């Protein structure tokens, strides 16, 4: 009796298990590969999905079998449909995305500030406006700048530091150092000025290596040519320009280039954040008629004049990189005749004006 009952129970359990196995998938599982209707999931017909699909399709090369070279099959036509722009040597999908993001960020920061802007966006707009709203000879009145250069060049009594300040106010460029607007975490991303070694003392001509005699002679001939050349309806500078010792002028620039090159080989070190007043005092302690003559406060006012809530007096903050460069620059300025420095500054801006030459011809 017990054996018959046990057999019946076992048989019942087996039958129930078979029924469960056969019916559970049909009742509780759905086919995972069954396509979802567009009405329930319209993502595949969105403009983004369609655009991405077309992009991938254009990249395909049907002449290549995917089993032979899947990369060529999928991407061989990418550069045909996405030619590399002239301003870069590297172009890929990531570069396109970065370019689009940059355009979107630029569109945001170029718009005027609004009360609804977040603090971060408002500060970003301030930094952008500060960096873009600086004096520039390239976008300024070329005739006015040229005539100003002529008049300044004829005034041999003008101290070199006045020439430096005047042209900096016109062009936003220094012929003695590199001055840029930066915003870093140390100053809570507020715009400040950074002073560092000059990139090139030859205007728009970049030549970091040691110049050989032939290159120096060619450069001197270029300066003499610019001195006597007509630009559009503007008379040449050299018409009433005093005699210039171009060899001493170029020697001064070569020495400035050498100092800059030596300092760039030094470790970057920490950027020295100081107030304008402290930096002026530091320059005064160096001695001589060098950096102590530079109008640091005027430079700060020129570069940051349109930045709201920015301190531009002696308590304003600036950043100085590689103070060793400024020590050597001070020695060079103090040991060079004032007229040579003045002539070098003048002709630096003349070569710098080559950047605006296309604009000059269109005047």
d(CA 20, CA 258): 89
| Mean of pLDDT values over 65-92 | 80
Q: What per-residue confidence (pLDDT) applies to 319?
A: 82
Q: What per-residue confidence (pLDDT) applies to 303?
A: 80
Q: Is the pLDDT higher at 29 or at 39?
A: 39
Q: What per-residue confidence (pLDDT) applies to 140?
A: 46
Beta carbons of 160 and 342 less than 8 angstroms apart: yes
Q: What per-residue confidence (pLDDT) applies to 54?
A: 78
pLDDT at residue 358 is higher than 50: no
Q: Which of 176-190, 321-335, 336-350 has the highest mean pLDDT?
A: 321-335
Q: How confident is the model at residue 29 (pLDDT cuts 50, 70, 90)?
A: very low
Q: Is the pLDDT higher at 326 or at 4?
A: 326
Q: What per-residue confidence (pLDDT) applies to 13?
A: 53
Residue 181 φ then ψ, to 5°: -95, 130
The segment(s) of the chain belonging to CATH 1.10.1380.10 are 139-231+243-362
Residue the block writes with tokens 């396509």? 35
| Mean of pLDDT values over 260-270 | 78
Q: What per-residue confidence (pLDDT) applies to 43?
A: 66
Q: Is the pLDDT higher at 186 or at 281?
A: 281
Q: What per-residue confidence (pLDDT) applies to 328?
A: 92
Q: What is the mean pLDDT of the chain?
A: 73
pLDDT at residue 357 is higher than 70: no
Q: What per-residue confidence (pLDDT) applies to 47?
A: 79
DSSP structural state of residue 37: P
pLDDT at residue 181 is higher than 70: yes
3-state secondary structure 201-260: CCCCCCCCCCCCHHHHHHHHHHHHHHHHCCECCECCHHHCCCCCCHHHHHHHHHHHHHHH
Q: What per-residue confidence (pLDDT) applies to 330?
A: 92
H or E segment to which residue 320 belongs: strand 317-320
Q: What per-residue confidence (pLDDT) applies to 41?
A: 65
Give which of 317, 311, 303, 307 is closest to 129, Cα–Cα: 307
Q: What per-residue confidence (pLDDT) applies to 38?
A: 58
Angle made by CA atoms 159, 162, 168, in degrees to the nearest 5: 140
| Mean of pLDDT values over 259-271 | 79
pLDDT at residue 232 is higher than 80: no
| Mean of pLDDT values over 42-52 | 76
pLDDT at residue 258 is higher than 70: yes
Beta carbons of 139 and 129 less than 8 angstroms apart: no
Q: Is the pLDDT higher at 261 or at 243?
A: 261
pLDDT at residue 149 is higher than 60: no
> Which CATH superfamily, name and number, covers 139-231+243-362?
Neutral endopeptidase , domain2 (1.10.1380.10)
């Amino acid at each position: 009796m017990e054996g018959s009952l046990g057999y019946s129970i076992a048989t019942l359990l087996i039958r129930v298990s078979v029924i469960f196995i056969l019916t559970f998938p049909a009742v509780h599982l759905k086919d995972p590969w069954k396509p979802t209707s567009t009405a329930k999931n319209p993502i595949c017909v969105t403009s983004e999905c369609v655009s991405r699909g077309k992009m991938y399709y254009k990249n395909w090369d049907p002449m290549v079998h995917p089993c032979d070279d899947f990369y060529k099959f999928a991407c061989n036509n990418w550069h045909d449909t996405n030619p590399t722009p002239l301003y870069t040597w590297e172009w890929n999908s990531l570069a396109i995305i970065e370019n689009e993001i940059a355009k979107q960020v630029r569109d945001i920061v170029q718009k005027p500030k609004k009360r609804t802007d977040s603090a971060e966006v408002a500060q970003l707009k301030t930094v952008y406006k500060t960096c873009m709203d600086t004096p520039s000879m390239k976008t300024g009145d070329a005739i006015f700048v040229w005539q100003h250069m002529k008049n300044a060049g004829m005034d041999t009594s003008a101290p070199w530091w006045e020439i430096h300040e005047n042209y900096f106010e016109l062009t936003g460029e220094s012929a003695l150092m590199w001055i840029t607007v930066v915003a870093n975490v140390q100053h809570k991303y507020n715009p400040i000025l950074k002073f560092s070694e000059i990139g090139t003392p030859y205007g728009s001509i970049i030549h970091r290596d040691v110049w050989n005699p032939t290159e120096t002679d060619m450069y001197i001939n270029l300066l003499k040519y610019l001195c006597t050349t007509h630009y559009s309806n503007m008379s040449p500078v050299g018409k009433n320009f005093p005699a210039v010792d171009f060899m001493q002028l170029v020697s001064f620039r070569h020495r400035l280039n050498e100092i800059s090159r030596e300092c760039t080989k030094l470790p970057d070190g920490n950027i020295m954040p100081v107030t304008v007043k402290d930096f002026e005092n530091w320059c005064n302690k160096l001695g001589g008629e060098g950096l102590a003559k530079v109008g640091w406060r005027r430079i700060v006012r020129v570069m940051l004049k349109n930045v709201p809530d920015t301190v531009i007096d002696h308590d304003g903050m600036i950043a100085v990189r590689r103070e060793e460069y400024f020590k050597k620059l001070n020695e060079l300025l103090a040991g060079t005749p004032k007229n040579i420095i003045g002539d070098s500054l003048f002709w630096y801006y003349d070569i710098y004006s080559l950047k605006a030459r296309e604009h000059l011809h269109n005047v």
